[in-house]
């Protein structure tokens, strides 16, 4: 039988979700915890790959096993084994064909900037000590993203993908006192895409480029034309949407 596991993790100290040969990953610690409890090898497949240091407020993975008698008890026992930086919220049965990665309809990320210094946010926000950002200009530039689907300019240069097309349905900045948050939703994302988008938009917020410049950047399909990749610690995967028919 196939089960989804709903979890969250603080990415600090992990080299992303995906298994790494010589580095600690979130997939590794969750998989090892499941194997301890089931007393047999368990392979889990995640909703996607997050880079080293990136966090997930909501993440899903699936695994196959015999019928689980008490999923609530399994959640309790998993959380007793897992490190404090990883928490399991739920384990639930899904259809046999359900896939945590390929069935996802959309993913939402937030990039969090703290305007100033805060010792309690050193690992979960990019602390901004530079000149003031023009949030209005950054939002104007973000609106141009809806006009495009090919985002090769924001993709990590050496990556093996069949298409650079993504359908962005949400992209905006919100400022709340010293907290500045960029939210972006799409059907899929390229490697390093969100961090490159944020870097490009902050350049515009600093007045280095005009909001309209993002059109030239996207149309160039050239990573060197886009902005720098902002620090991973400010990036959170916050929501994944699936079709209702995969749930039992």
Q: For residue range 108-147, list pLDDT tens digits in order.
A: 999 999 999 999 999 999 999 888 999 999 999 999 999 9
| pLDDT surpassing 90 at residue 101 | yes
At 113 the pLDDT is 98
CA dist., res. 217 & res. 200, Å (int): 9
HSE-CB for 22 with a 13 A CA cutoff: 0
Least confident of 10-19, 151-160, 176-185: 151-160
At 162 the pLDDT is 83
Query: Across residues 165-183, what is the average pLDDT?
Result: 97
Query: Across residues 57-79, what is the average pLDDT?
Result: 96
Residues 39-67 pLDDT 10s: 999 999 999 989 999 999 999 999 999 99
Which H/E stretch holds residue 142? helix 135-143
Residue 190: Cβ-neighbour burial (10 angstroms; 0-12, 13-18, 19+): buried
Is 72 a residue of the active site?
A: no
Instruction: Please state the length of the chain.
Output: 248
**Domains, the chain:** 2-102 (3.30.70.580), 106-239 (3.30.70.660)
At 12 the pLDDT is 96
At 225 the pLDDT is 95
| Strand ranges inside 15-54, DSSP E | 45-46
The active-site residue, picked from 51, 64, 147, 160, is 51
| pLDDT surpassing 80 at residue 159 | no
CA dist., res. 62 & res. 6, Å (int): 9
Which H/E stretch holds residue 213? helix 213-220
- Number of Cβ atoms within 10 Å of the Cβ of 58: 16
Q: Are 15 and 25 in contact (CB under 8 A)?
A: yes
| pLDDT surpassing 80 at residue 88 | yes
At 130 the pLDDT is 80
Cα–Cα distance list, 104 to 59, 132, 139, 188, 244 (Å): 11, 37, 27, 9, 11
The model's confidence at residue 204, banded by pLDDT at 50, 70 and 90, is very high
Query: Across residues 67-88, what is the average pLDDT?
Result: 96
pTM, 2 dp: 0.94
């Amino acid at each position: 039988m196939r089960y989804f596991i709903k979890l969250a993790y603080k990415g600090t100290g992990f080299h992303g979700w995906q298994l790494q040969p010589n580095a600690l990953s979130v997939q590794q610690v969750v998989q090892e915890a499941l194997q301890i409890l089931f007393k047999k090898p368990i392979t889990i497949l995640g909703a996607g790959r997050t880079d080293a240091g990136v966090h997930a407020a909501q993440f899903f993975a699936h695994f196959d096993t015999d019928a689980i008698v008490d999923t609530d008890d399994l959640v309790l026992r998993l959380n007793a084994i897992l490190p404090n930086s990883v928490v399991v919220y739920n384990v639930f049965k899904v259809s046999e064909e359900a896939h945590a990665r390929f069935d996802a309809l959309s993913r939402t990320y937030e990039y969090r900037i703290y305007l100033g210094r805060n010792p309690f946010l050193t690992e979960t926000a990019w602390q901004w000590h530079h000149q003031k950002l023009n949030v209005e200009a950054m939002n104007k530039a973000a609106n141009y993203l809806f006009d495009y689907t090919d985002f090769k300019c924001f993709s990590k240069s050496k990556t093996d993908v069949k298409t650079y097309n993504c359908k962005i349905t949400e992209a905006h900045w919100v400022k709340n006192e010293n907290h500045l948050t960029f939210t972006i939703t799409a059907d899929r994302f390229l490697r390093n895409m969100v961090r490159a988008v944020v870097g490009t938009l902050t350049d515009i917020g600093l007045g280095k480029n005009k909001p309209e410049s993002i059109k030239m950047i996207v149309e160039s399909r050239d990573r060197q034309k886009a902005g720098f990749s902002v620090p991973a610690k400010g990036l959170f995967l916050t929501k994944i949407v699936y079709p209702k028919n995969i749930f039992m």
